[in-house]
Amino acid sequence: MINLLTKAGLIMNKINVFKQSAKIVFAAILFLLAKVPINAAAGDALSSVMKITGILTLLIIIVVLWLVIVIPDKSVDLNQAWKKFKHLVISKSTLATPIENEQEILMDHDYDGIKELDNKVPPIFNLLFYGTIIMAIIYIFQYHLIGTGNIMQDEYQEEVQLADMQRNLLIRSGAFLTEQTVTQLTDNSAIAAGQDIFMKNCASCHGFKGEGLIGPNLTDQYWINGGGIKNIFRIVRDGVQQKGMISWQSQLAPKQIQEVSSFIMSLEGTNPSNGKAPEGEQYSEESKESI
């Protein structure tokens, strides 16, 4: 009797542990589901689903590990339990007749000693078969009757739209800027960003005010390689290697080159006190237009 009671107690204990773990998993699922944005774009939703699947798998692994550690009940032979479970799953999913009863379903023909068993169709095959029928019905509804399914053209359009969006984003980020497409930025934040880049990278040769040191004065109207945003952008990007002006394209992104070039443009006419003598040719508005 006492034995029975302790056994019952053990079982209750296990059920409680299981209930608790189930609660935790359930709460975690709810928490994660609440995090999925309802009207997220298709791509976002997909990545959320993938993230959640990943997290759930992890959770399940943790819970199983935890169960194994929390209930190290020596009286339960895990190996035996696993075998039983496996046997149950296999027998239920195949409905195979146990070997000892095979005589009952043995068919009466014999081909060169090869005999045939009249086994039941494994439910798993039936599941596949009925599954295809169900899928076909859903398909007919979705694609032919309601028309909510994406046909190839729609998918293509979606891809194109997505690519367009990415392209626009890249263009806006300035990744495709060239001397042909670059424009002078005049907003304060861009000029400030340009100034920052200038102070860190360029002031050592061009002076903190652009007055010129090793490099030429950048505040006058005289330019060795041509003035205007397009020329300046090109020179900063490509450099003038043989004269000691390095190419900055490996260190600055096109957007940053645009910013520092715009900052240089904003220096024109600031006339710093210790300015270096003009070098090159005067660059006028008209010739700027023609570039």
Binding site for ligand HEC (CB under 6 A): 201-202, 204-206, 214-216, 218, 223-225, 232, 235-236, 240, 243-245, 248, 260, 264, 280
Shortest reach from residue 260's CB to ligand HEC, in Å: 4
Shortest reach from residue 172's CB to ligand HEC, in Å: 22
Contacts of 213 (CB under 8 A, 6+ apart): 204, 205, 206, 207, 276
> What is the C-alpha separation between 198 and 257, in angstroms, rounded?
10
Tell me phi and psi for residue 44, to 5 degrees: -60, -45
Question: Considering beta carbons, is residue 28 or 235 the nearer one to ligand HEC?
Answer: 235
Tell me phi and psi for residue 106, to 5 degrees: -70, 130
Shortest reach from residue 225's CB to ligand HEC, in Å: 3
Nearest CA to 62 among 21, 23, 11? 21
Shortest reach from residue 174's CB to ligand HEC, in Å: 16
Shortest reach from residue 212's CB to ligand HEC, in Å: 9
Question: Considering beta carbons, is residue 52 or 246 the nearer one to ligand HEC?
Answer: 246
Question: Considering beta carbons, is residue 64 or 199 the nearer one to ligand HEC?
Answer: 199
The CB-side HSE value for 231 (13 A sphere, CA atoms) comes to 16
- Asked if 149 and 139 count as a contact pair (C-beta separation under 8 A), the reply is yes
Return the number of other C-beta atoms located less than 10 Å from residue 190's C-beta: 18
Shortest reach from residue 235's CB to ligand HEC, in Å: 4
DSSP H/E element including 31: helix 2-35
Question: Considering beta carbons, is residue 182 or 218 the nearer one to ligand HEC?
Answer: 218
DSSP H/E element including 290: helix 285-290
CA geometry: angle 66, 67, 72, nearest 5 deg: 110
Question: Considering beta carbons, is residue 94 or 225 the nearer one to ligand HEC?
Answer: 225
Question: Considering beta carbons, is residue 49 or 192 the nearer one to ligand HEC?
Answer: 192
> What is the C-alpha separation between 53 and 55, in angstroms, rounded?
5
